[in-house]
Chains A and B, each alone.
Chain A
Amino acid sequence: MSPATGGNGRPRYHLLSVRVENRAGVLARVAGLFARRGFNIFSLVVAPTQDERFSRISIVVDVESAPLRQIVDQLHKLINVVEISELDPGDAREAELLLVTVGVPRSGEPGLVELIGRFGAQVVEESPKATMIMLVGETGPLDEFEAGLGRYGILEIQRTGRIGLPTLSPAT
């Protein structure tokens, strides 16, 4: 994902970390709200938290479609939504995971080996014709890595979308 900015120069994509009650249908409620209000989701990740009563959803929203305040206020109206934090890049640690298959073996491609090494990526599977690579990191480096792989022919790619947590405060 490119670090796109909106017309006002502010980031176009915002990461919301949403703590929800872990109940059947809660993802449908969140997705349905975005659909019927015309809000755009760029990416969405959901998984349980350490407390089995709750899940955490990381949503990257496009604030071109609606003001962030309105998206947050509407999300809050869902009964199963417990807490919403907007993770500002300066106050949060973010990561996403990328899995990609390129149509070349690692052995004959020193450039590929160098790229993998430089980004700290991992080869997770190899065949005579293809290499599957995993990289975890922030969105910017993942974008650069993906761009660098272009010349080797990307066969398949899956990115999780951004997840995040508030950064540790100095007192912690």
Chain B
Amino acid sequence: MEVTGAQALIKSLEEQGVEVAFGLPGGAILPVYDPILDSSIRHIHVRHEQGAGHAAEGYADATGRPGVAIVTSGPGATNIVTPVADAYMDSVPLVVVAGQVAAGAIGTDAFQEVDTTGVTMGVTKHNYLVKDVAEIPRIVAEAFHIATTGRPGPVLIDFPKDVANQRVEWHSAGRVDLPGYSPPAEPDPEAIHRAVELIRAARRPVLYVGGGVVKSEGSRALAALVEATGMPVVTTLMARGIFPDSDPRCLGMPGMHGNYTAVTAMQRSDLLIALGARFDDRVTGKVSAFAPEALVIHVDIDPAEIGKVRRPDVAVVADCRLAIEALVEALAEGGPLEAARLAPWMGQLAEWQARFPYTYDAGDGTTIKPQFVVEQLRAATPDDAILVSGVGQHQMWASQFWRFEQPRTWINSGGLGTMGFGVPAAMGAKVGRPDRMVWAIDGDGCFQMTAQELVTMSMEHIPVKIAILNNSYLGMVRQWQHMFYEERYSSVYLSPDLPDYVGWAESMGAVGLRVTSPEEVRPAIEKANEIEDRSVVIDFRTDPAEHVYPIVPAGMSNDDIVLHPSQTEPAQ
């Protein structure tokens, strides 16, 4: 059967099991949009290409399947560079198809021409410029293979318009043959053996669990490892939910805005078992002062992460789930661990947890504290609800005050810190998991960046719920200006009333609610939870002076953690 390049692309996507693509057409990608009409793929027509990219990320994060986006050349492609970079930093499997000017026009500064392959080289796991129509099935198969295996990431296909129009005899992709790509899978038994010896000997161990365990679907394996060893767990920003917050061994989030116990447990530990975590600067603080007494076992599927920041004592290059399962098995072979060995350590941790929990000043009952909103949202929402956030103070409060019980219930932009991630990522999550309630906690600054995707959601019947913690500031920037720039507030004020968030939400087909006092918080949330056929936006007018605590100031040691003012300096 003879098909066009565009038809070959769509057929290839179908063969990869693609059910949904997020996109926005334009000149160079026009040939691809014609066969979409005849395809089983649901195309969700976004209002801005950044929305397509973040929606594809939200879809991928919620489902574990690759997200797909389709955009045109030039500005369409550059508009999706931010989500592609975001996906690269957070290892999100994406396949992005970008239109390109005709192959013969490449290099002539043609209308809407950008060197998309060149622009995205540094922010993709791999990319392709399609030059031969016969290559399409192979390239699409390779793109999905690369995006979803090993350390996942975004792959971009730059697709010239004339190649899309050329005709070719349809053929399915053969076996993927990439001589330079063979991601590791099974751990080295010798490394597992040495890791187990360290685990048996440790008296102050901490499992430092990152997003890699989420990607490898390792929550059950992790639970078994904790069960077998009794070791406490910190869950990084990318791993919230991989181990239930309700388990007393879960210490929660470490790092710059982590809680005292998670941060200090790492600092005092004698063994850090890093699982799919990359010693990010937001976790380590000043690297030379990070966990000074700890031996390190580093498990990661990406060999380049081993020793990039901290030289490990044992390196396990493998899929996290397989490595954890191998650890559990090897531990069992050596007989049970003595339960009492960790008693002093767990006692110390429990004492810290009791003394230095996350806290906030409840106020005088007239102003709404943002942390209170997060707590009330969580209390009114089922355990399997998916929470999405933007980037800033609200993101940290969401991670701190939400109680996560299940993996893939928390979706955020960790590595790149992309404001505006929340609304479109919530759309993607809801498309991927229509059975789940999806809430986004967003900032007023973030919401203004990508709110237009609420129009998409109204048109496409994708109902999500958005809680804007409207403090009328770029709150995290304001906090830093308060703490580190002598309260000289520069370009951070936004106004609580401009835009009118309720009117804006209504104009986009959503329900808009405004909450100005603490007693209205819970009823508004419950009302929102009852609305299932439309998106809901709640404009919570929150206290602009509230700061995120604890905080480890940038570049400082984690030992210099600054607690909430109500918490006295801890005895060392």
Contact = CB atoms under 8 A, between A and B. Distances in A.
Interface string A1-39: 000000000000000000011001100110011001000
10 contacts: A25-B117, A25-B121, A32-B122, A67-B307, A70-B308, A73-B303, A73-B304, A79-B126, A81-B180, A83-B180
Contacts of A29: 121
A156 B304 CA distance: 41
A74 to B, nearest CB: 5
The 10 closest A-B pairs by CB, nearest first: A73-B304, A82-B180, A79-B126, A73-B303, A82-B179, A36-B122, A74-B304, A79-B181, A81-B180, A32-B121
A55 to B, nearest CB: 12
Nearest to B307: A69
Interface in A67-91: 67, 69-70, 73-74, 76-83
A9 to B, nearest CB: 20
Interface residues of A, number: 22
B302 interface: yes
B306 A73 contact: yes
A79 B303 contact: no
Interface in B118-163: 118, 121-122, 125-126, 129, 131, 146
Contacts of B354: none
Contact of A79 (B117, B146, B304, B307): B146
B178 interface: yes
Main secondary structure of the interface of A (DSSP, over half): mixed
Contacts of A73: 303-304, 306
A11 to B, nearest CB: 20
Contacts of A33: 122
Given A69-B307, A79-B126, A79-B181, 6 more contacts: A32-B122, A73-B303, A74-B304, A76-B304, A77-B125, A77-B304
Nearest to B303: A73
A29 B123 CA distance: 11
Given A73-B303, A74-B304, A79 B178 contact: yes
Contacts of B125: 77, 79
B179 A25 contact: no
B287 to A, nearest CB: 14
Which residue, of A28, A79, A81, A83, has the highest number of chain B Cβ atoms within 10 A?
A: A79
A126 B306 CA distance: 55
A76 to B, nearest CB: 7
Given A76-B303, A77-B304, A79-B146, A28 B121 contact: yes
Contacts of A25: 117-118, 121, 129
Contacts of A83: 180
Contact of A20 (B180, B181, B303): B180
A79 to B, nearest CB: 4
Interface in B163-204: 178-181
Query: Which of B121, B126, B146, B306 has the most chain A CB atoms inside 10 A of its CB?
Result: B121
A73 B309 CA distance: 13
A80 B307 contact: no
Interface string B304-333: 101110000000000000000000000000
A81 B131 CA distance: 21
Nearest to A36: B122
Contact of B307 (A28, A70, A77): A70
A161 B527 CA distance: 71
Contacts of A78: 180
Contacts of B122: 32-33, 36
Nearest to B181: A79
Contacts of A79: 125-126, 146, 178, 180-181
Task: Determine which residue in B180, B306, B308 has the highest number of CB atoms from chain A within 10 A of its CB, and name it.
Answer: B180
A69 B131 CA distance: 35
B179 to A, nearest CB: 5
A73 B306 CA distance: 9
A40 B406 CA distance: 44
A25 B126 CA distance: 11
B303 A21 contact: no
A71 to B, nearest CB: 9
A67 B311 CA distance: 11
Contact of B129 (A24, A67, A74): A24
Contacts of A21: 179-180
Nearest to A71: B304
Contact of B302 (A24, A32, A36, A77): A77
Contacts of B131: 24
Contacts of B308: 70
B157 to A, nearest CB: 13
Nearest to A69: B307
A39 to B, nearest CB: 12
Contacts of B179: 21, 82
A82 B302 CA distance: 16
Interface string A55-75: 000000000000101100110
Contacts of B129: 24-25
Nearest to B179: A82
Interface in B274-314: 302-304, 306-308
Interface string B480-493: 00000000000000
